[in-house]
Structure 1
Amino acid sequence: MRGGGPRAGAVRVGTRLPPLEIEITRTLIVAGAIASRDYQDVHHDPESARRKGSPDIFMNILTTNGLVGRYVTDHFGPNAVLRKVAVRLGAPNRPGDTMVLTGTVEEADGDTVTVGVVGSNGIGRHVTGTVTLTLPGGCAG
């Protein structure tokens, strides 16, 4: 969403955020692991991942957490402040997958909004969770 995003008081429970498709590339997985200082070999070495039972490398939880936060702040704008991101992982994101993030406003109380988020890929739900944020006050616009 361009501009400042929805303002406090203009957000309604049940509002659905537009879906966001994210291509899961080998570069995204490795870069996310490096950026979050997660050097476990299953996030960058395909042979090590196979030896540990995975067909390929897979995304770490910190990268997923960041993508979930980005999804919500992209919708609510640069003045939204993340207060809490709580996620649970399911099906792994591997190179070649596309993850589709969807979200629904679950609570809207004053300037605080909680969004339920689901991210799915070709084999199932990769992530479920909630994001709580505060929005600037005032009239919608």
Structure 2
Amino acid sequence: MTDRLTPERRSWLMSRVRSKNTSPEIRVRRLAHAMGLRFRLYRNDLPGRPDLVFPRHRAVLFVHGCFWHRHSGCAKASTPKSRMEFWRTKFELNVERDRQNEAMLLALGWRVFIIWECETKSEQKIRSLLSGIAQNSFEH
């Protein structure tokens, strides 16, 4: 199946995909703040520049997009039909970089939490994850 969009239109659309302040991130941040959790955003002195950093709890939270970070079993983690080799390589590098960043953070003594874009639709899922951070729980 070929792409329905012209290469120029596809390029324009992809250029509009944001890496910061996405809707899923905003949902998580609002709820974290409402729960009394205080955090910093995108600390560039930490591996992977975590989306939210909870210094008091020595925890970081990544809000991963299902498409870019390959959420297993999620419909949003589809693979484009054109330039498949490019996308396969791109996704593999993203996943490997995520693994390396997590390993480095753990080695530095940080607890690493991940919430997927599709999970941010459920306030209960977000609340449950944030409760684990607040309770200094090591379950994630």
Q: Per the shorter chain, which TM-score range?
A: under 0.3
Determine which structure has the larger helix proportion and give its number.
Answer: 2
Q: Provide the TM-score with structure 2 as the length reference.
A: 0.27
TM, length-normalised to structure 1:
0.27
- Bigger proportion of residues as strand: 1
Does 1 or 2 have the higher relative contact order (CA < 8 Å, sep 6+)?
Answer: 1
